[in-house]
Amino acid sequence: VTSSKNPIVRVPVFDWNQTAVADASAAALEILEGDQVPSNENTYTSSLIAGLRPSIHSSTHHAAVTTIDIHMRGFALWVICVYIALVMAVYAVVPEENIVRLSGIEQRGAVMAMSLIAVSFLSRIVPLVNGAPHQNHQSTKLSGIFIGGLTVQLVAFFTDFIMANFPVPVVIDPVLGSRVHLLRWCEWAPCATFMTFMMEGADLYWEGDMPPTDFMRTKYIHSATQGGAVFLGLMFPFCSSQKTWAAAMFVACCLYLTNFPRIWNRMKTIPSSLSEGATVEEAERFNAAKIAL
Query: In the prediction, which pLDDT does 36 show?
Result: 42
- Cα 231 from Cα 186, distance rounded (Å): 8
pLDDT digits over 143-192, tens only?
888 898 899 999 999 999 999 999 999 999 988 888 999 999 999 999 99
pLDDT digits over 72-99, tens only?
999 999 999 999 999 999 999 999 999 9
Nearest to 292 by CA among 217, 219, 218, 200: 200
Query: Could you give the residue ranges of the DSSP H alpha helices within the chain?
Result: 18-34, 61-93, 104-129, 144-165, 182-201, 215-235, 242-257, 259-268, 280-291
- Cα 286 from Cα 274, distance rounded (Å): 7
Query: In the prediction, which pLDDT does 33 show?
Result: 40
pTM > 0.85 = no
HEC secondary structure over 94-163: CCHHHEECCCHHHHHHHHHHHHHHHHHHHHHHHHHHCCCCCHHHCCCCCCHHHHHHHHHHHHHHHHHHHH
Name residues of the chain where pLDDT drops below 50. Answer: 1-52, 135, 137, 273
Q: Which residues contact 28 (CB under 8 A, 6 or more apart)?
A: 1, 9, 11, 45
- Cα 165 from Cα 249, distance rounded (Å): 32
Number of Cα atoms under 13 Å in the Cβ half of residue 222: 22
- Cα 44 from Cα 12, distance rounded (Å): 11
- Cα 45 from Cα 233, distance rounded (Å): 44
CB contact at 8 A, 31 and 37: yes
Query: In the prediction, which pLDDT does 217 show?
Result: 87
- Cα 96 from Cα 137, distance rounded (Å): 55
